[in-house]
């Protein structure tokens, strides 16, 4: 019984630590994060490159941080479908830690600002 309780605690701790930092991205059908909300994605750098959310339906994406734990992370949007750094949108200014992104993109990722 003691082993089962410890295993459950470790599993919960691992899950909690894994998602301690995260951004919530919520795509909207209309520009400027208005119109119908289409869903949401929550994640951090561990999720790697992600494809466009709701392609063909979303016109904008609301980005919200989960708190100060995310200070070293930001969401980056790319015109490529593989998060190629040379295709970062808005002339290299396509990164956000909070706000609304209205623009064309095909992939995104959460980056650590301190990573090399």
For residue 111, what are the contacts with CB-CB under 8 A and spacing of at least 6?
Answer: 45, 73, 74, 75, 76, 95
pLDDT tens-digit profile of 30-64? 999 999 999 999 998 889 999 999 998 999 999 99
pTM confidence score: 0.76
For residue 28, what are the contacts with CB-CB under 8 A and spacing of at least 6?
Answer: 34, 35, 36, 37, 38, 58, 59, 60, 61, 62
Domains of the chain: 20-112 (2.60.20)
pLDDT bin (cut points 50, 70, 90) of residue 114 is: confident
């Amino acid at each position: 019984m003691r082993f089962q309780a410890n295993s459950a605690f470790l599993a919960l701790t691992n899950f909690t630590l894994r998602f301690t930092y995260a951004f919530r991205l919520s795509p909207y059908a209309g520009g400027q994060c208005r119109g119908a909300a289409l869903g949401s994605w929550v994640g951090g750098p561990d999720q790697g490159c992600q494809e466009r959310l709701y392609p063909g339906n979303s016109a904008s994406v609301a980005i919200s941080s989960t708190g100060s734990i995310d200070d070293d992370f930001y969401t980056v949007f790319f015109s490529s479908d593989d998060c190629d750094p040379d295709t970062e949108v808005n002339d290299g200014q396509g990164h956000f830690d909070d706000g609304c992104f209205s623009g064309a993109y095909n992939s995104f990722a959460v980056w650590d600002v301190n990573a090399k």
